[in-house]
Amino acid sequence: MSYSKIALITGATRGIGRAIAHKYADEGCRLVVVYRSNQQTADETKAELEAKGAEVLMLQADLSDAEACARVVAAAKDRFGGIDTLINNAGGAYDGAFAAMNPEEYAGLIQCNLVAPMLLTIAAKDELIASAKAGRGGEVVMMASMAGVTGKEGQVPYSTTKGGLMGATRLLARELGPEGVRVNALAPGFIRTEMVEILEPKMYEHVLSASASPRMGEPYEVADAAWFLGSSNSSYLNGVIQRIDGGFLR
Amino acid sequence: MIFFENLNHPLARSVADACAAQGDDIFDVSASSGGLSEAIAANGAPRALVLTPPERCEAQAMRDAFYDPAKALEFGKQVHADAMQFLINCRLATQAMMTEKTGHVLFLGIDDVAARLVGLPENPIANQLRVSALKSLAKEYGRMGIKYNAILSQPSKETVDPKTWRSQRDQLKVYTMRFSPNETREYADFCAQAVQGSLPLNGGLLCLGKGVMEMAA
């Protein structure tokens, strides 16, 4: 009987995270799905994934709390015996004119987008190393952003957190690489999710006109890339920030 | 007047000296108990604000965090506090410079890969979050006459003992471009030009040094 990888995916009940959970289910993985608060979407996601035949452990957790990270890792170990692949997808956005922002308003963003993925990766380190040594996995995928790669007006705190996450990806890759664990990041551009649905049509045109592929990306396309980085298909990639942006030029 | 976030940083100190030699007034924000806010209130908007990385080693903090949950929590708090303080300083400087319709915010960091090779503090998180933020700020406030740039230099010759330089050169001898240190003064002279805003650059990242490939985005 072939081995079913164990993937822990955060923020997996909507948008890109949900698409990643579906991709990993399609690939026959056992899933630990972490969500922050929305029970209804969590229930829907679980039903969808189980309908595909996946074994699913749903966990509600606020990962900005280090103890919660440890509890999530322990729960995954109790249920499935370990973690092979960690997808740090959960994150938020906070847009606006930077000079007019109140610093208290982006404190939570730093915790959610930068500190939480680091703490969860640190908490999962032993499981990931064990998986790598057993030849099962040991991959970490961070969800950065093109805002972190190229900068984006109106998104100064957001791009700051994603830039920090890119730095953390490189640092974790250097520190865990000798143990066989690979840490890479995806930097999505303009992807069709709830985050961009609020934009006006002229903003769509503005963004799309500045892309080599003048269309929005779909969540499943990011999920395909997340599968590549989170599987042995990318076995010689480590510390990479992979753009997935249709050739964004702006 | 040119504000320096922390003149204890060796490159920043030399850049400040180079700027002062050309007639600029220098203000050390770290010496002010009220920080940048008080410095701006007392002196008005700076012509330039020179930012420097935190005085710590993220690589060591990460290693400690791997084996001690309390240290992991502490590391998370340090990263959070550093990002917050950086953004607060950028906001204060931007608000002050907006009224003047001119100004320059420049980050001076040490390339974290080169730092790792010679055993100096390695801070890729602090470096990259600053680079990304400054790119965004340039896109948002460049139209108001404010420049935001970053310079990552390899460690200067005086900051590393000669044996380490020799061993690094030996290890890199197969490469055409060996890891070759510049003196602090060489970096400082270039950075002083950048501080004074004479380079045609906004939202840019310059990597200085010879022999180690640029890793920053």
B128, A163 in Cβ contact below 8 A? yes
Give me the active site residues of A, please.
Answer: 158
Q: Consecutive 10-residue runs of chain A (250 residues): their mean pLDDT? A: 92 95 98 93 96 96 89 97 97 92 92 96 97 97 96 96 98 98 96 81 82 92 98 96 90
Residue B49's SS3 state is strand
Provide the CATH number for the domain formed by B2-208 in this structure.
Answer: 3.40.50.720
Instruction: Give a three-class secondary structure readout of A141-188.
Output: EEECCHHHHHCCCCCHHHHHHHHHHHHHHHHHHHHHHHHCCEEEEEEE
A160 closest CA partner among B19, B118, B150, B135: B135
Neighbours of B108 (CB within 10 A): 27
Residue B162's SS3 state is helix
Q: B102: which 2 tokens?
A: 């001119």
B150 closest CA partner among B120, B105, B117, B94: B105
- Out of A107, A125, A151, whose CB is closest to B138? A151
Interface test mutation site (partner B, options A112, A122, A175, max chain B beta carbons within 10 A)? A122
- Out of A66, A122, A164, whose CB is closest to B129? A164
Instruction: Render pLDDT for A193-209 as a digit per residue (tens, 0 to 9).
Output: 887 777 788 878 887 88
Alpha carbons within 13 angstroms on the beta-carbon side of residue B71 total: 12
3-state SS of chain B: helix, strand, coil percent to 5? Answer: 55, 15, 30
Instruction: Test B94 with A98 for CB contact under 8 angstroms.
Output: yes
A222, A20 in Cβ contact below 8 A? yes
Q: B78: which 2 tokens?
A: 């340090």
Q: Number of CB pairs < 8 Å for A and B?
A: 145
- Out of B62, B66, B217, whose CB is closest to A241? B217
ipTM over 0.90: yes
Instruction: Render pLDDT for B53-103 as a digit per residue (tens, 0 to 9).
Output: 999 999 999 999 999 999 999 999 999 999 999 999 999 999 999 999 999
Q: Tell me the pairing of strands A182-188 and A241-244.
A: parallel
In degrees and rounded to multiples of 5, residue A243 shows phi and psi of -70, 140
Give the start-to-end residue ranges of the domains of chain A.
Answer: 6-237
Domain A6-237 grouped into CATH 3.30.429.10: no
User: CB contact, 8 Å: A93 with chain B?
Assistant: no
